[in-house]
């Protein structure tokens, strides 16, 4: 074989290897980031439309795993309730009425 034919054969082998790697990576990405179903997109767009009062265009939707969003929401709700009820850096006791068995 000539050097050109050897180079072409090497390049074809490299392209085949890269194509196999890309297929493997796309398969792994599909498992990590599943597609959002049409029903979920419809529910999200309906919720956005109800909240905004007009139709909105959804540009991106990402599925999230884990509870970070939920825990941040709980923390915000607890903080707002603490501020509402005056908890936090207070000097006075929480209650002026003593508990049973403390007198």
| Per-residue pLDDT at 78 | 82
If the chain, 103 residues long, is cut into consecutive pieces of 10 residues, what is the mean pLDDT of each piece? 85 95 88 77 88 83 73 82 64 59 61
How far apart, in whole angstroms, are the C-alpha atoms of residue 55 and residue 95?
50
The predicted model scores a pTM of 0.35
> In this predicted structure, what is the pLDDT of residue 92?
54
pLDDT for residue 15 = 95
Secondary structure class of 45 (helix, strand, coil): helix
58 and 40 in contact (C-beta within 8 Å)? no
Q: Which residue has the tokens 């990405």?
A: 29
Residue 27 sits at φ, ψ, to 5 deg, of: -65, -45
């Amino acid at each position: 074989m000539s050097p050109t034919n050897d180079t072409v054969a090497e390049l074809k082998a490299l392209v085949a290897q890269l194509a196999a790697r890309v297929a493997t990576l796309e398969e792994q990405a599909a498992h990590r980031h599943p597609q959002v179903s049409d029903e979920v997109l419809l529910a999200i767009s309906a919720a956005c439309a109800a909240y905004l009062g007009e139709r909105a265009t959804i540009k991106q939707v990402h599925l999230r795993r884990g509870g970070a969003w939920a825990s941040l929401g709980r923390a915000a709700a607890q903080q707002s309730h603490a501020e509402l009820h005056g908890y936090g850096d207070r000097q006075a006791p929480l209650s002026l009425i003593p508990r049973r068995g403390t007198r």
